[in-house]
Structure 1
């Protein structure tokens, strides 16, 4: 992922249920505005089922030149030839992911609110670091709370892009964009309602706030 088109871009994370009509919802969202990446995040299913669920979504992303990132599983990312993998702190190392997925893979690392974890990830060769949660979120349990100043600190010192995550909506994202986030990772704000309208609202905010920065 690169942050070249706008100062900050949208990074969609899937809901846990990606069956049923979700492929059409994903297409609607991606067609509603610029999206840099989509993270495939499912829990409690085996790798075979996960690969089956991923197939139509991966195709939709490929048709629209949107990076397809697998959450947590280096093995699944390799199996389906995903564009990359997003690693939590217990999901394997950047080196392991790089060795298995290759030089071109996009590898991101969850760093919570830790400068130390982010610097470690950068030194290990991560393509981006993710900080959060910045706001209360119902998508997943969060133990950590990050502040916008963390984004400012990171972007001033490092060239590796940073992703802001956690309870982000079109109404509260201004401070994160202004602080230096390269990407806003969002899930509930898009999938809990009209996904196309939500993406359009984010696109308007990303464009207007980026111009002010």
Structure 2
């Protein structure tokens, strides 16, 4: 039995029926975290969209993580924030959000970025993309040996991201990823079936 866990990332469109879809997905199988990822909205509108999703996550004991925006994470009292390489420092985020906040850092395919993030107190590092993604342009491609190397040397959990589906996730789990970050594979179809399929693959690995 692996310790790998599912980390859902929102689609860019989270209004309308999306809260219902999120609730169904979280009930379909074990999900550890949900990342709220919207682009180009003012903070007030983003906070409005986030509120019902945050409630659904809290009811299911799922960590609610905000993408890229420390100020929004603070406003919402979110469980944490996910920082890209250009979204400020772990230290600044920690100062704003406190010791309990989960702070993750995108490290692409870079061992250097990952070690730096760890040194600065990140709670997890994200590597990818492992496969071409339908939700994001793929600038960086990560190989499985990066996960193997990280899991052997470091205690800080790793998140694998980028085009991960139930069909291609087994080698990633076996390479040592602590979390599978998935978006398109869940939201582009039946979210209940997708979460169950991921749960089956994680259990089998």
Normalising by the smaller structure, the TM-score range is over 0.9
- Secondary structure at the residue paired with 1:107? strand
Matches within 5 A, 1:1-213: 6-209=2-205
Tell me how far 1:142 sits from its aligned partner: 1.8
Q: CA separation in 2, counterparts of 1:202 and 1:23?
A: 20
Q: CA separation in 2, counterparts of 1:176 and 1:94?
A: 26
Q: Where in structure 1 are there 5+ consecutive unaligned residues?
A: none
Q: CA separation in 1, counterparts of 2:8 and 2:139?
A: 21
Q: CA separation in 2, counterparts of 1:106 and 1:6?
A: 22
- Secondary structure at the residue paired with 2:25? helix
Tell me how far 1:7 sits from its aligned partner: 1.3
Give aligned pairs, total: 205
**CA-based RMSD:** 0.8
Q: CA separation in 2, counterparts of 1:22 and 1:204?
A: 24
Q: TM-score, normalised by structure 1?
A: 0.95
